[in-house]
Every structure is written in C-alpha cells, then in structure tokens.
C-alpha cells in the first residue's frame, strides 16, 4: 500500500518539481514562488519511491460561499502522479489522506477542479458548478438599446494599481454567489499573477473598474488583448479572465468597453457562469458561441455541518440516506428539518450517493436530473419534488478561479 507522508518546508522545491512533472510541465521559478505563497507546507503530502517524490497532493484552506452563508473548505490541489508510477494506488491513498486532513482541520466540505472529470466521482466528489466558455464575434453583436448604461466609463489600468478597488467588489459579489471563494492572504496576488511566459502572445493583464452613480467602484473586469492580423484586416482577441458587477448598469458599462475595443474581432471568456447575463444584454446571439464544461467538484465530509451551513429555497423535512463508499463514516442517514441537519434512525425519504450529494450542494445541479439518471431514489412519494425545490439556489453557483 502507498505510504503518504506529510511534507515540510524543506521538501517544497521537490514537491513543486514532481507536481509539474506529473502534468508534463517544467516548473517555472516565478510560478513556483507564487504557488508557495498560497500553500501551507504542513498541508502538503507526497508518496515516495526510491526516495523520490512520485505523487503529490495538497489542501488549501478556503472559505466557500453556499446558499445563504459560507462554509470552511479544504481546497484539494496539486494532485499528480508522475508517469511511470501510475496505477499503483498512489492516487487513492493520497485522496484518503487529504480528506482525513480536511476533516481533522474542521472543514465540512472539500472541493477541487479536475484535470479529468471522470476521476473523482469514486472519491465522492460531484460536479456542483459549470464553467462556460463564451466566444463572441464582435462585429456581429451589440448591446441592446433598452439596456441602461452608466454615465461614466470604466477606469482602465494595471491590476496591481486597481487592487484596492477590486477587493471590496469581489467580496460583495462573492457573498451573494454560491461557489465563489474568499481571497485572503496572497490569493488576490495569485489571481492577477501575469508572468509573460503564461500570456501566449497576449499583452499584459488589465483591470477595468466601473464606477457606480456615487462614484464608488461597482464592477470590474480583468482582461488582456492579443494582436492579430489577417487578409481581412485586424483580427485581435480580447481574453476575459474575470468579470464581476454589483448592478446591471455596472455590468453593461464593462461590456460596453469590452465590446468596443479597436482592432479586435473576437472575445473569449473561459470561466464564465453557466447562464451569464451577457446573453440577455446583447443583440446578435447567433454570434455568441457558448460551450459548457466542468467547474467545481464538491464533496461533503461532515454532512450535518455542511447541510446546516446553507439555507434552502423552501422549508423541508427530509431524511436522506447517503451511501458514501469511499468514506463510510461520512455517510449514513440524516434528517434535514428547519434548516438544520442531524443523524437519525428514521425511515429514509431519498437515497443518494456522496457524489450526487456533492453535486446538489450549491444548488445548481437539479436533483430531478440525477433522479432521472437513476442516481437518486425516491423512497417516499413527493420527497423528490420537495428536495429538488428546497436545494435549488436562486443565484446560480459559479466559481471563477481554478486553484
């Protein structure tokens, strides 16, 4: 069986090198330095063979917004097994150690971004958000004429100079959006991390801050532009890294800037919400290509604490039978009543696996869709509709950052 060891600060360079090697990358010193700023050495783990690190994993302490509140989260990251050392049980052993570590840290929820989405269901992680790639042909779209626009244009500058304006906007938008994460410590610096070797020919990252009617910041966008020409003239590309706004007017002001840039033909936004408002403020939707992919995978480690941390769309009295094969002690039978969850011996109303419970936790994945796929069983007539209504969130969950 693979032996997973907790690392120390002295092991961090070897840890980073092995993790990048598992992804067939070379560890760039600038990226390593940034990764180390957000990584707790005491929560990094490895498997060694012949004295060399061949498998890696880490937990990042974050706070996750859920419907009606927040919950402490173990952000599972840096998962990798070096080529030539796979299929030996290293990943399974690493995941078990990471989940135990998160539980020991008092984190009721774990979450991750998957390089390959098929891997993590067996560990109890369910797909809880979607990440949508928008591609807009700018010569064929325009803002609707009935959209209210702000009087003042956005202020455009470097992200570092704009950082103090970005922080409070993000904090307020994040508080109302399930799936978003806190950005304490160096997390903001990592979000605007923009070394030249990662730009793929684009210019430097820029920040646009949209003021509200009172002159205070009400929205922002992080973006970069990439110059290109072809036989038809300018064919530049705008790449949106993130866009957040507190009001429709602020959002419209930011899109007015992004859609109106000179020498640009196409706009791409890779980590957008599943149903972003941009689709409803534009004319020419046939020039908007929208492709949904996997977003944040969520796993409940303490069902009682996790389900008690969020609110519900309607009052519900439900007994859930949770089959958790990877962590049997995490599963069992739970009663959800008046927004509180506790273990119970009462008859179950619904039966589902840990993966399905993680998928519905943030309120974005419809419980009815999982039931139609045979992954949720209704044991009491009417319980499925009751649970499906209660678990849905009025605000679509969205996680705009990969960690």
Residue 1 has what pLDDT? 67
Q: What is the band of 265 on the pLDDT scale with cuts at 50, 70, 90?
A: very high
Q: pTM of this prediction?
A: 0.96
What is the C-alpha separation between 7 and 278, in angstroms, rounded? 45
Chain segment 224-245, per-residue pLDDT in tens = 999 999 999 999 999 999 999 9
The runs of H, that is alpha helices, within 148-239 are 159-175, 187-191
pLDDT at 219 over 70: yes
Closest by Cα among 277, 270, 283 to 246: 277
Residue 95 has what pLDDT? 98
Q: Work out the average pLDDT over 354-369.
A: 98
What is the C-alpha separation between 393 and 366, in angstroms, rounded? 10
pLDDT at 96 over 80: yes
Q: What percent of the chain has pLDDT over 90?
A: 97
Chain segment 175-199, per-residue pLDDT in tens = 999 999 999 999 999 999 999 999 9
Catalytic residues: 120, 403
What is the C-alpha separation between 240 and 157, in angstroms, rounded? 15
Q: What is the band of 284 on the pLDDT scale with cuts at 50, 70, 90?
A: confident
Q: Work out the average pLDDT over 370-379.
A: 98
Burial 33-51 (b: 16+ CB within 10 A, else e): ebbbebbeeebbbbbbeee
Residue 253 has what pLDDT? 98
Domains and CATH numbers, the chain: 4-107 (3.40.630.30), 132-293 (3.40.630.30), 310-391 (3.30.1050.10)
Closest by Cα among 115, 160, 136, 147 to 240: 136
Is residue 330 within 8 A of residue 354, CB to CB? The reply is yes
Q: What is the band of 27 on the pLDDT scale with cuts at 50, 70, 90?
A: confident
Closest by Cα among 396, 131, 138 to 288: 138
Structure tokens given for 300 = 């409940």
pLDDT at 158 over 70: yes
Q: What is the band of 251 on the pLDDT scale with cuts at 50, 70, 90?
A: very high
């Amino acid at each position: 069986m693979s032996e997973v060891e907790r690392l120390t600060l002295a092991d961090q360079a070897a840890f980073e090198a092995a993790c990048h090697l598992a992804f067939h990358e070379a560890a760039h010193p600038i990226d390593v330095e940034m990764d180390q700023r957000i990584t707790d050495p005491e929560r990094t783990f490895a498997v060694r063979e012949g004295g060399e690190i061949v498998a890696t994993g880490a937990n990042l302490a974050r706070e996750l917004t859920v419907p009606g509140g927040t919950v402490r989260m173990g952000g599972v990251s840096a998962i990798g097994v070096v080529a030539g050392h796979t299929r030996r049980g290293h990943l399974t052993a690493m995941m078990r150690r990471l989940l135990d570590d998160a539980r020991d840290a008092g984190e009721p929820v774990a979450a991750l971004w998957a390089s390959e989405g098929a891997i993590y269901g067996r560990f109890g992680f369910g797909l809880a958000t979607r990440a949508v790639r928008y591609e807009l042909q700018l010569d064929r779209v325009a803002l609707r004429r009935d959209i209210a626009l702000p009087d003042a244009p956005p202020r455009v500058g470097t992200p570092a100079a704009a950082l103090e304006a970005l922080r409070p906007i993000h904090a307020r938008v994040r508080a109302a959006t399930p799936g978003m994460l806190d950005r304490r410590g160096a997390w903001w610096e990592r979000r605007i991390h923009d070394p030249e070797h990662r730009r793929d020919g684009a210019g430097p990252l820029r920040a646009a801050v949209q003021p509200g009617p009172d002159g205070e910041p009400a929205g922002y966008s992080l973006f970069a532009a990439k110059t290109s020409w072809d036989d038809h003239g300018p064919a530049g590309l705008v790449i949106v890294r993130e866009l957040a706004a507190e009001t429709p007017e602020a959002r419209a002001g930011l899109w007015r800037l992004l859609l109106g840039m000179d020498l640009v033909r196409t706009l791409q936004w890779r980590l957008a919400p599943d149903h972003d408002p941009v689709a409803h403020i534009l004319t020419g939707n046939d020039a908007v290509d929208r492709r949904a992919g996997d977003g944040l995978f969520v796993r409940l480690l303490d069902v009682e604490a996790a389900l008690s941390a969020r609110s519900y769309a309607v009052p519900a009295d439900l007994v859930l039978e949770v089959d958790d094969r990877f962590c049997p002690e995490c599963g069992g039978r739970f009663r959800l009543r008046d927004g509180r969850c506790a273990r119970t011996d009462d008859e179950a109303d619904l039966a589902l696996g840990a993966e399905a419970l993680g998928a519905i936790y943030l309120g974005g994945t419809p419980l009815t869709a999982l039931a139609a796929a045979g992954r949720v069983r209704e044991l009491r007539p009417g319980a499925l509709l009751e649970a499906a209504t209660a678990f849905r969130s009025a605000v679509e969950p969205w996680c705009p950052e990969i960690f």
